[in-house]
Structure 1
Amino acid sequence: MQKHSLIAVAVAFMAAGCTMAPKYERPEAPVSDAFPQGGVYATQPVASAERTANGQAATDIGWRDFFVDPRLQRLIEIAQKNNRDLRVSVLNMQAARAQYQITRAGLMPSLNAAGSENKTRTPSNLSLPGQEVSNQYSVGVNASWEIDFFGRIQSLKDQALAQYLATAQARKAAEIALVSSVADQYLTVLAYDDLLKVTQDTQKAAQDSYNITKLQFDTGSGSELDLRQAETVVAQASANLQSQARLRAQAENALVLLVGEPLPADLPAGLPLSSQNLLTDIPAGLPSDLLTRRPDIMEAEQQLRAANANIGAARAAFFPKISLTGNFGTLSPSLGGLFKAGSAAWGFAPQITLPIFNGGVNIANLDLANVQKNIQIAQYEKAIQTAFREVADGLAARGTYDQQITSLDRNRFAQQRRLDLSNLRYTNGVDSYLSVLTAQTDLYSAQQTLITARLQRLTNLVDLYQYLGGGWIERAGDEPRPADAPVDYSTTSVPVAASAVVTASQGSGATAGGLAP
């Protein structure tokens, strides 16, 4: 009767899911309640007539809605299937899921079937005549179970679950970052295309000027100074052309690495840099929204939950461990008598282990667990601060790039006009060739600066979309996948990730297999 009462109490205790872990409380966000306003933040761009976010948060805007370039959309699609970093993040998630299942199994009794034969020989002076050799055969079932009175295994299970959820969020963050990285690299390639075009045009114009100056020098109507000045522009443009061609090739190689395979020959036609009509009016929301929109912040919080649960396991180590072992089967001196009447055998061995002295290991483990939790708190707060800074920087850039580009475009136009007038004055003998050379160099610099600013504006919009949590869904209106959603690599040999079926929660209601997006 006492044995049955003990088991009943143990089952009730385990069903309650009691642990000695401290109650989890989310730390306060160490940032302002709102993003900076005024100054550079006050001039955010408005929606164009054709393209607007309609007030939707970045998490609700699919990447196919954010990007309009069909070539870029196809590259992102390929990268999501082939990028090796993303594949590693999925495999890490699978490994954490398996580790969670291993830890969770510790809550359950283990049951094994066993069969054995034991043959022994006893010296004749210690045994009866003819009985020197004896046999014993057994078949039965062995069972063992550690009763988790103080929640040690439950705490370890909660820790493993939190780590699994953290790797799932890390996978989600990796996929969102991949979308942004592919877009940034694609835009960089387009910018080099524009730079090459400007350099080629500059080189052609400089070569034409050089030919004219060379003819004037050969006929004695021009000076060698003018000739050498014209030659410097040609040489500089030629050198820049080779440099930009090299950088363009390297940028495409970086894009291939992100995509995970050579760029297919059947990619749809793309759009030039000037036609990348990205959404410019995605609202920033509040900093507190980032806690549920940024997977890197959610990953850091799950790591904090894991550290919190580890304290429970460290505390439980100070208390007794109670385990039950038993077996039931049959014993017989002969193989044929195993299942005859009267051959049944059983054993029951409850055990309690109480730590008395271990050199301070348990105390040190508890101290370590508390320190590790404090580390995770700091890392969680740093993740929030980093996210706040990234969004604030993105908003500051978004509020200034349009006006900067407008000014740079006016400068480019003025430099072009200046070059035309300088050429006219030089042709009419009013001015020296130095004014033409200077105007041509300044125009070339203005054109390059304008292209660079256009690229920076676009990559800032892409990065801000990522910083606000966008890039997880494909199209607006799609149901967001759980962070540990299955992955299908189609023809690849990588195993398909399967969502864990988890019944335990960690206070926030998030469970594996159904994570909040």
Structure 2
Amino acid sequence: MTKPLIVLLAATTLLTGCNLAPKYERPAGAVPPTLPQGGVYPAAASDAPDVTRVGWRDFFLDPRLRQVIETGLANNRDLRIAAGNVLQARAQLRVQRADLLPTVNANGSGTYTNNVSGAVSGGGGGSGAGVNIAQDLEIYSVSAGISSFELDLFGRIRNLTRAAQEQVFASEEAQRSTRISLIAEIANAWLTMASDAEQLRLSRQTLRTFEETLRLTREQFRVGIGSELEVRQAETSYQGAVNDIAALETSVARDQNALNLLVGTTVAADLLPTGLGAEPATRDALPSDVSSDVLLRRPDVLQAEHQLIAESANIGAARAAFFPTISLTGTIGTISTALSGLFKDGTLTYTATPAIGLPLFDFGRRTGNLEYARASQQVAVATYERAIQTAFREVADALAQRGRIGEQVAAQTSRAQAAQVASRLSEARFRAGVDSFLTTLDAQRTAYAAEQQLVTTRLTQASNLVELYRTLGGGLEETTAPATAPATGTAPAAPVQ
């Protein structure tokens, strides 16, 4: 009885290496081998650190910004959702992996029945009616066994398990991508609020200048030295500054609301920026490696690759469905007519029921499933290549802006300084009666616009460094918290196979 079962199990062991999934090869050629160089693109500094190995606590220099980011990593709901997705994927993997091993069930039963043994004739040699003798029977049994365990000869279950494993890796990379994006979004929101606060400070300072000019022109008009036209022109500039202040106060309030949403709680007032300040908010470092291979380490690219590997495994599972399915049901136990005799000699009982099945006519179901798996793999290939192309474009854009942003800041700084000097000289000449009021008013407006543009350019410079840090996958060295902590968890990257 047991010899055929042993032969079947041995054959199963020999065939477990059968895998019908296509061999995975990473798609190549979606982007050039190197990032853009020359022209507007900056040359990589030989002593610059690898930005992917610079933790966010080292990259962001302002202690208030670091504390805000840390609070956001602990409270942001999108990050909690990403951590929950990882836990869901891991649970699904556990469910799928269970099919690789048989499910063992234990059963116990007791049967109580009344049995009529037959008729017995009357005594004394006389004729008499037969008597039926009833006996009470008790049957006890205990058994353990497996039911319909599929022998994975052609790798169907193993490929489904591999696909589930790759989905876990993909969800972990998605979590890491969410974390890095969140850090960049919080930093940009904080810097935007700092820029608007700086613009508000500038507008209030300019308002005092316009107010003094308006007071002076009204006084000159009152005594007959100036004209009403000059008064109206001065009032136009003054009311423009009033409008700017109102708009910027609204912008600062909205910036704070956006920052609170990203952080997941109300940011303390002492952590909010009051202006861009003279000190940089981030490190000024360029990547030392300009190879496009750096893009392959980005979490979103790794996520797309793991999903591609999962689709390849699904093809193997779909192919295996064309082969016979072999399952095994078996039990071993003991049976006795007395509860005390269950485990005595001679009570052992067992059954083994191998079964094989192959659908003959399924009207194209298996073929359709295989075609769907192949099409899904093609979609995954295109998605992976698009992820790399998107990453290449984002890094190239950030580098292009980085190459000339320093010149822009220097030029805007000189322009603002020159405009301020010109405004002061023009105002002095106007008070001395040398220049007309129109010249003075134009100089004041030019100085105000130059200062506003300088603040905007400095924001662009700071945001560009944050964007370059994000697009190159900055912060990967510090994004390895476990997913079991939904508030802050980030799963480690899985090796690409």
Q: Same fold (TM over 0.5)?
A: yes
Question: Which residue, 145, 157, 162 being the options, matches 1:158?
Answer: 162
Alignment of 1:55-454 (within 5 A): 55-117=48-110, 137-144=140-147, 145-264=149-268, 267=271, 272-276=276-280, 278-283=282-287, 285-332=289-336, 338-339=342-343, 342-454=346-458
Q: 1:323 aligns to what SS in structure 2? A: strand
Q: 1:473 aligns to what SS in structure 2? A: helix
Distance 1:325 1:237, change over 3 A: same
Counterpart residue identity of residue 486, structure 1: P
Give, in angstroms, the shift of residue 87 of structure 1: 1.3
Q: 1:400 aligns to what SS in structure 2? A: helix
Q: Distance in 2 between matches of 1:122 and 1:431?
A: 128
Q: Distance in 2 between matches of 1:291 and 1:135?
A: 73
Q: Distance in 2 between matches of 1:495 and 1:44?
A: 39
Counterpart residue identity of residue 396, structure 1: A
In the other structure, the counterpart of 1:463 is 467
Distance 1:375 1:268, change over 3 A: closer
Q: Are 1:70 and 1:270, in contact at CA under 8 Å, matched by a contact in 2?
A: no
Compare 459-468 and 208-217 and name the one that shifted more: 208-217
Cα distance per residue 1:153-210 (max 9 Å; x no partner): 0110110111111111111111111221111111111111110111001111111111
Distance 1:197 1:45, change over 3 A: farther
Structure 1 residue runs of 5 or longer lacking an equivalent are 47-52, 475-479, 500-511
Compare 438-447 and 257-266 and name the one that shifted more: 257-266
Distance 1:45 1:356, change over 3 A: closer
Give, in angstroms, the shift of residue 342 of structure 1: 4.4
Give, in angstroms, the shift of residue 260 of structure 1: 1.8
Q: Distance in 1 between matches of 2:236 and 2:488?
A: 60
Q: Distance in 2 between matches of 1:143 and 1:284?
A: 59
Q: Are 2:311 and 2:377, in contact at CA under 8 Å, matched by a contact in 1?
A: yes
Q: Distance in 1 between matches of 2:343 and 2:4?
A: 31
Q: Are 1:290 and 1:387, in contact at CA under 8 Å, matched by a contact in 2?
A: no
For these two proteins, the number of residue pairs brought into alignment is: 481
Distance 1:274 1:139, change over 3 A: same
Distance 1:497 1:423, change over 3 A: closer
Percent identical: 41
Q: 2:476 aligns to what SS in structure 1? A: coil
Give, in angstroms, the shift of residue 452 of structure 1: 0.7
Compare 267-276 and 380-389 and name the one that shifted more: 267-276
In the other structure, the counterpart of 1:4 is 6
Compare 312-321 and 291-300 and name the one that shifted more: 291-300
Give, in angstroms, the shift of residue 341 of structure 1: 5.2
Compare 408-417 and 365-374 and name the one that shifted more: 408-417
Q: Are 1:62 and 1:471, in contact at CA under 8 Å, matched by a contact in 2?
A: yes
Alignment of 1:434-513 (within 5 A): 434-474=438-478, 481=480, 485-487=481-483, 489=485, 494=486
In the other structure, the counterpart of 2:22 is 22
Q: Distance in 2 between matches of 1:194 and 1:343?
A: 90
Q: Are 1:32 and 1:287, in contact at CA under 8 Å, matched by a contact in 2?
A: no
Q: Distance in 2 between matches of 1:270 and 1:226?
A: 35
Q: Distance in 2 between matches of 1:131 and 1:227?
A: 125
Give, in angstroms, the shift of residue 280 of structure 1: 2.6
Q: Are 1:115 and 1:139, in contact at CA under 8 Å, matched by a contact in 2?
A: yes
Q: Are 2:44 and 2:290, in contact at CA under 8 Å, matched by a contact in 1?
A: no
Q: Distance in 1 between matches of 2:457 and 2:133?
A: 101
Cα distance per residue 1:423-461 (max 9 Å; x no partner): 233323344322222222222221111111110111111
Give, in angstroms, the shift of residue 247 of structure 1: 0.8
Q: Distance in 2 between matches of 1:315 and 1:381?
A: 26
Give, in angstroms, the shift of residue 131 of structure 1: 6.6
Q: 2:19 aligns to what SS in structure 1? A: coil
Compare 266-275 and 238-247 and name the one that shifted more: 266-275
Distance 1:232 1:367, change over 3 A: same
Cα distance per residue 1:81-133 (max 9 Å; x no partner): 2211111111111111111111111111110112245678999xxxx968799
Distance 1:284 1:32, change over 3 A: farther
Q: Are 1:284 and 1:468, in contact at CA under 8 Å, matched by a contact in 2?
A: no
Q: Are 1:287 and 1:388, in contact at CA under 8 Å, matched by a contact in 2?
A: no
Cα distance per residue 1:275-321 (max 9 Å; x no partner): 11533332252444224421111111100000000000000011111
TM-score (norm 2): 0.88
Q: Distance in 2 between matches of 1:82 and 1:130?
A: 79
TM-score (norm 1): 0.85
Q: Distance in 2 between matches of 1:45 and 1:447?
A: 31
Give, in angstroms, the shift of residue 139 of structure 1: 2.4
Structure 2 residue runs of 5 or longer lacking an equivalent are 117-130
Q: 1:39 aligns to what SS in structure 2? A: coil
In the other structure, the counterpart of 1:502 is none
Compare 265-274 and 381-390 and name the one that shifted more: 265-274
In the other structure, the counterpart of 1:504 is none
Q: Are 2:172 and 2:493, in contact at CA under 8 Å, matched by a contact in 1?
A: no
In the other structure, the counterpart of 2:121 is none
Q: Distance in 2 between matches of 1:344 and 1:376?
A: 54
Q: Are 2:295 and 2:392, in contact at CA under 8 Å, matched by a contact in 1?
A: no
Q: 2:108 aligns to what SS in structure 1? A: strand
Give, in angstroms, the shift of residue 150 of structure 1: 0.5
* Rg larger for: 2
Q: 1:389 aligns to what SS in structure 2? A: helix
Q: Distance in 2 between matches of 1:359 and 1:13?
A: 29
Counterpart residue identity of residue 64, structure 2: R
